Amino acid sequence: MFLNHVSSKISSYCHDALPPEEAARVSAHLEQCQRCRRRHAKTASIVELLGYLERIRAPVLLWDDIEMRRRRPAPLPVPETSTSAWLLRRRGPIAAVAALLVAMAALETLRVTNESPGGAGIFDELDLGAYLHPVQAASPAASYRALARAAPGFDSRERDDPLLASGLRSVPDASPLPGYHLQAQHIGSVGAHRVVQLIYGNGSEAFSVFVAPASVRFRFGSQSAFDTVVQGIRCVKVDCPMQQTYAFHEGNYQWVLVSKSLDQARAAIVMRYFIATHQREVDNDARQTRIFVR
């Protein structure tokens, strides 16, 4: 009797997207066919559940992020197709271009190093070596002073300076760690970007957090760095036993945490704090507590 089940039409039927005569046929079939009726009930409940999906408002600062990306220099052109056959046919020219690019990159690195030793260079690169070096072998008291000062090239601004004038839209009121307070904020320029240094202290220990757009590259003086995972957070650790310095990122922002005495557990708390601050903002939190650098 029911050779022509209507299961393939049920979604369209629920959406009222069938021509009238087709809808009438489905309706008549449903009255007689228990199997299709069950299917219709299931689909109707799913349609109702999918009604919970809603349009989400984009974060208000999205335009600023787009403007920031528009101001970046255009990347080198990349071939449109990338199949293995294409690569295989052109492996000779590609190898030559790659060698040329490597040579150019090496030349550029030398040029940056020569033009701006130890400081904020061109090409959106920031070398924290001059800031990190004194921290390495310092005593606890000396390291507190070393960490609490502005990094070379950064303007010194007191905490009470107007936030907008410093390029910092807002700073979270709460501290990343219990007992620590925001003591100072300093501003540095790296290419077209601003980098903010926040200093937190508890009277005997201090740590710095540098906040920068993702397009800024950090260097750490003579120290090398390696990828690692600290309590579930993917980050880069500066390879120095005398300090705890981690670079980590989220979306279009990145942070570098410089400390002398924070163990991994407390470093992870600080990292999570800044990542969560960023996520809270992009999740349309009305409090707008994101640190914004421009």
Contacts with other proteins, residue ranges (CB under 8 A): 7-12, 15, 17, 42-43, 45-47, 49-59, 62-63, 65-66, 69-70, 250-252, 278-279, 282-283
Identify which of residues 8 and 81 has a Cβ nearer to other proteins in the complex.
8
Identify which of residues 39 and 217 has a Cβ nearer to other proteins in the complex.
39
In the bound complex, what is the minimum distance in angstroms from residue 275's beta carbon to other proteins? 10
Identify which of residues 136 and 252 has a Cβ nearer to other proteins in the complex.
252
Q: Distance between CA 133 and CA 221 in Å, rounded? A: 8
**CA-based nearest residue to 258, from 291, 225, 292, 215:** 225
In the bound complex, what is the minimum distance in angstroms from residue 292's beta carbon to other proteins? 13
In the bound complex, what is the minimum distance in angstroms from residue 6's beta carbon to other proteins? 11
In the bound complex, what is the minimum distance in angstroms from residue 14's beta carbon to other proteins? 8
Identify which of residues 17 and 229 has a Cβ nearer to other proteins in the complex.
17
φ and ψ of 65, to 5 deg: -65, -40
What angle is formed at CA 158 by the lines to CA 156 and CA 161, rounded to 5 degrees? 110
Identify which of residues 219 and 280 has a Cβ nearer to other proteins in the complex.
280
246, 270 in Cβ contact below 8 A?
no
In the bound complex, what is the minimum distance in angstroms from residue 10's beta carbon to other proteins? 7
